[in-house]
Amino acid sequence: TSASIIRKGARLPALPTIRDIIKLYRLRAIKQLSQNFLMDERLTDKIVKAAGKIENQHVLEVGPGPGCITRSIIKKMPQKLIVVEKDRRFLPSLELLAESTAEYTKMDIYEGDILKFPIETAFPDLKMHHWEGRRAPVHLIGNLPFSISTRLLINWLRDVSLQQGAWKFGRATMTLTFQKEVAERIVAPMASPQRCRLSIMSQIWTEPQLKFTIPGKAFIPKPKVDVGVVQLVPYQIPLTKLPFDLVEKVCRYIFSMRQKYLRRGISNLYPEDLRDELTYRTFQMADLNPETRSFLLSVDECLRIAEAYHHFSKIYPNIDSYNYRASKKIIHANYDEFDESY
Ligand code: SAM
């Protein structure tokens, strides 16, 4: 095998072969952790290329695993690379990579859960960039298990809305993999059957783009589904100033009864004693037809509903804590399952 690759002087250690990986980490264990490795360098290069210019910039990679995407990142010579990996079995091969690249890129390895990792501490040397200017030289890249990547996206969108975490430094770019169907939902335009809460939430604060898809068979072990690479660039001016959680709640109700008229989902936002009146007034305020369907709404129309809800929740403070799902004992749906709850 070509034992190492040489690029602009950086000499990287050989990637473990597929056989090594399977032997080292045991296929069964890998499957349980939904670890799917992308060992094809052309594809990992393509993901990194999709991230845009990272040369001399700051990169955080989530879930590097044995380091296939990591190597493609290193080849582009960012100034600083931080990898966050939960599975300590990968640390030795990552440490080897860090050593071999020390001269060109400072690479730090954090063992731990990305969902608990304080990204704002990751780049101590980075200066702040104006939000309403050029993008910050910060990139978040990752091929994570599907359930985590969706949850992470929601967390990160909340951080974007608050300009905290990685977005403390300015408009950082995300380039992440998702189950292909989820990737399509994230970017789904108005009137698309895939339009859902995740589309609206993503499109309020960022401009998501489906860069390309990768067939499942390119991964080892092979997942049941194909994979989409999505890039999300935060807007200079987000489409709302409303709080993230309020918008998220309203979107959840908007899309909760997608087979029915929009009125049904919206009415559930309000407690019974106020329901009819406030539902009527919400549509009036939002200037919308209650007999439309949620997937036909523009982002702006969803936000007009959220504005109305925000308005009424200030007048009637008990609305805020009202939760129709809880009142009907419907289990709180989350983003982890691939179903209507998106
Ligand atoms: N990036 C590698 C690749 O593309 O070949 C590995 C991808 S594998 C789908 C996902 C990786 O994320 C695994 O290495 C797994 O251990 C790691 N991981 C899973 N959950 C994580 C979490 N919460 N925080 C950090 N890493 C995580």
User: 13: pLDDT confidence band, cut at 50, 70 and 90?
Assistant: confident
Q: Is the pLDDT of residue 30 over 70?
A: no
Phi, psi of 204 (to 5 degrees): -80, -40
Element (H, E) at 84: strand 80-85
Rg (CA), the chain: 22
Which positions ≥6 away from 127 have C-beta within 8 Å?
Answer: 169
Nearest CA to ligand 1 atom 23: 113
- What is residue 258's predicted lDDT score, i.e. its pLDDT? 82
User: 321: pLDDT confidence band, cut at 50, 70 and 90?
Assistant: confident
**Probe residue for ligand 1, chosen from 25, 32, 35 as the CB with the greatest number of ligand atoms within 8 Å:** 35
Strand-strand pairing, 80-85 and 58-62: parallel
User: 109: pLDDT confidence band, cut at 50, 70 and 90?
Assistant: very high
> What mean pLDDT, rounded, does the chain reach?
88
Dump pLDDT digits (tens) for 236-271: 999 999 999 999 999 999 999 888 999 999 999 999
Tell how far the Cα of 125 is from the centroid of ligand 1, in angstroms.
Answer: 26
- What is residue 21's predicted lDDT score, i.e. its pLDDT? 67
Q: Is the pLDDT of residue 15 over 80?
A: no
**Probe residue for ligand 1, chosen from 68, 89, 143, 229 as the CB with the greatest number of ligand atoms within 8 Å:** 143
- What is residue 275's predicted lDDT score, i.e. its pLDDT? 95
Q: From CA 172, how far away is CA 168, in angstroms rounded?
A: 9
- Binding site, annotated residues: 36, 38, 63, 85, 113, 143
Q: Which two tokens stand for residue 252?
A: 């959840």
Distances from the Cα of 230 to the Cα of 115, 117, 336, angstroms: 19, 22, 18
Q: Give me the mean pLDDT over the 163-180 stretch.
A: 96
User: 332: pLDDT confidence band, cut at 50, 70 and 90?
Assistant: very low
Tell how far the Cα of 6 is from the centroid of ligand 1, in angstroms.
Answer: 26
Q: Is the pLDDT of residue 186 over 60?
A: yes
- What is residue 9's predicted lDDT score, i.e. its pLDDT? 52
The fraction of the chain above a pLDDT of 90, given in percent, is: 68
Assign 309 to helix, strand or coil: helix
Report whether 202 contacts 185 (CB < 8 A). no
Q: Is the pLDDT of residue 342 over 50?
A: yes
Q: Give me the mean pLDDT over the 291-320 stretch.
A: 95
- What is residue 326's predicted lDDT score, i.e. its pLDDT? 55
AA identity, residue 121:
T
The fraction of the chain above a pLDDT of 70, given in percent, is: 86
Cβ of 114 less than 6 Å from ligand 1: yes
Picking from 92-101, 111-120, 167-176, 302-311, which range would have the lowest pLDDT averaged per residue? Answer: 92-101
Element (H, E) at 97: helix 91-101
Q: What is the ipTM of this complex?
A: 0.99
Tell how far the Cα of 102 is from the centroid of ligand 1, in angstroms.
Answer: 23
Q: Is the pLDDT of residue 330 over 60?
A: no
Nearest CA to ligand 1 atom 17: 63
User: 146: pLDDT confidence band, cut at 50, 70 and 90?
Assistant: confident
- What is residue 128's predicted lDDT score, i.e. its pLDDT? 86
User: 29: pLDDT confidence band, cut at 50, 70 and 90?
Assistant: low
Q: Say if residue 291 is exposed, middle or buried (CB neighbours under 10 Å; 0-12, 13-18, 19+).
A: exposed
Q: Is the pLDDT of residue 340 over 90?
A: no
Phi, psi of 222 (to 5 degrees): -75, 125
